[in-house]
Amino acid sequence: MAHDDEIDCSGMNCPLPVLKTKMKIDGMAAGSTLKVITTDPGSCQDIPAWANRVGHEVVETGEGDGKFWFMVKRGE
Amino acid sequence: MAERKKMALIAAQGSLDWAYPPFILASTGAAMDMEVKVFFTFYGLPLLKPKIKAKVTPAANPAMPMKMPFGPKGFQNIDWPMPHAITGVVPGFDSMATRLMKKTFKKKGVATITELREMCVMLGVELIACQMTMDVFGFEKEDFIDGVTFGGAAAFLDFAADADIQMFM
C-alpha cells in the first residue's frame, strides 16, 4: 500500500513505538499515511488504541518475518 | 476527536522499577493528547534531578525474578534463588542487580528513565516537585531539571479533582 512516510520501531519496547510514531506523525500533513514497523507484540494493541484516541486511523495492518506493520492515516 | 482527557499521577517511589510506571504512563498519556501532571513526592523527588541514580532493591522485593541477561537461553531462563541473607546483606548487591536489570532493559529495547523523562518534557507533561518534601529532604529548586514546577497538596488536588485518571505510585 502506498504511504507518505515510514518509521521503523523494530527492537523498541513499550511505550517507545507509540511515542516515536506520535512524534513522527505530528510533522506530517492531515490525510497523509505513515507506515509504522514494529517488533513489539504489545504494539498490536497499543498503536490502534493510541491512533483511535487521538483521531488517526489505522487503515491496514499486517505481519511477517517477526515484524508487524501498521498504516496510520493522520487525522485532522 | 474526543474532549481532552486529564491524568494526574503521584510518583512517591524513587527506585528504578518504580520510576518506570509514572514516566511510561505520563509520556504515553501526553502522546494520547491528554493533559498530564505528575506530582513527585517523598522518594520520587530525586527522579527530577539531572542525573537519575535510581536502583533496584531485591531485598525489598522478594518476588523479583533474578535472571541473567547473558549466556545461552536455558541459562537466561534460570530464576536464581536468592536468599534474603544475601540480597539484604552482601555489599553492592543492589548495584549489581541494578546493572543486570538495566542491561536487560536495554537488550529488550526498553527506554531509560532519562529518555522517558525527556519525552515527557517534550510532550508537555508538567512535572511538579512537592515543596514540603523538598524542605524536609533539603532540595533546592536548582537541584532539578529545567521546567519543573513546584506545588503542594492543594495545587495537585485542584487538578486531580477534574482529572479523568488519577493514580498513586
Q: Spell out the residues 6+ positions from residue B155 whose beta carbon is closer than 8 angstroms to its own.
A: B128
Q: What is the pLDDT of residues A7-61, one digit of tens each?
A: 999 999 999 999 999 999 999 999 999 999 999 999 999 999 999 999 999 999 9
Q: Is there a catalytic annotation at residue A44? A: no
- Predicted confidence at residue B158, as pLDDT, reads 97
Report the percent of chain A where pLDDT is more than 70: 100
Q: Which of A11, A15, A23 sits opposite B24 (nearest CB)?
A: A15
Question: Which ipTM value was assigned to this complex?
Answer: 0.94
Q: Which residues of A touch B117 (CB under 8 A)?
A: none
pLDDT of B111 > 90? The answer is: yes
User: Helix crossing, A16-26 with B16-31: angle to 10°?
Assistant: 30
3-state SS class at B128: strand
- Predicted confidence at residue B3, as pLDDT, reads 78
Which of B119, B120, B121, B122 should we substitute to test contact with A (largest number of A Cβ atoms within 10 Å)? B119
Pick from A76, A72, A11, A75: which is nearest to A36 by CA? A72
- Predicted confidence at residue A63, as pLDDT, reads 97
Interface residue A14 vs chain B (CB under 8 A): yes
| Pairs of CB atoms within 8 A across A/B | 43
- Predicted confidence at residue B106, as pLDDT, reads 95
Pairwise CB contact (< 8 Å): A22 & B31 = yes
Domain limits of chain B? 6-53+113-168, 58-107
Pick from B163, B147, B125, B131: which is nearest to B50 by CA? B147
Q: What is the pLDDT of residues B48-82, one digit of tens each?
A: 999 999 999 999 998 899 899 999 999 999 999 88
Pairwise CB contact (< 8 Å): A50 & B119 = no
Pick from A36, A34, A76, A75: which is nearest to A56 by CA? A75
Given this structure, which CATH class describes domain B6-53+113-168?
Answer: alpha beta
B119: closest chain A residue by CA: A19
A21's grid cell: 510514531
Q: Which of A4, A13, A14, A41 is catalytic?
A: A14
Q: Which residues of B touch A18 (CB under 8 A)?
A: 28, 31
pLDDT of B1 > 80? The answer is: no
In whole angstroms, give the CA distance from residue B17 to residue B2: 33
How many residues appear in chain B? 169
d(CA A10, nearest CA chain B) in Å: 9
Is A5-73 a domain of CATH 3.30.110.40?
Answer: yes
Q: Which of A13, A18, A50 sits opposite B110 (nearest CB)?
A: A13
Which of B28, B112, B165 should we substitute to test contact with A (largest number of A Cβ atoms within 10 Å)? B28
pLDDT of B164 > 70? The answer is: yes
Q: What is the pLDDT of residues B5-47, one digit of tens each?
A: 999 999 999 999 999 999 999 999 999 999 999 999 999 999 9
- Predicted confidence at residue B2, as pLDDT, reads 58
Pairwise CB contact (< 8 Å): B28 & A15 = yes
Q: How confident is the model at residue B85 (pLDDT cuts 50, 70, 90)?
A: confident
d(CA A47, nearest CA chain B) in Å: 11
DSSP notation for chain A: ---SEEEEETT--TTHHHHHHHHHHHTS-TT-EEEEEE--TTHHHHHHHHHHHHT-EEEEEEEETTEEEEEEE---
Q: What is the pLDDT of residues B119-149, one digit of tens each?
A: 999 999 999 999 999 999 999 999 999 999 9
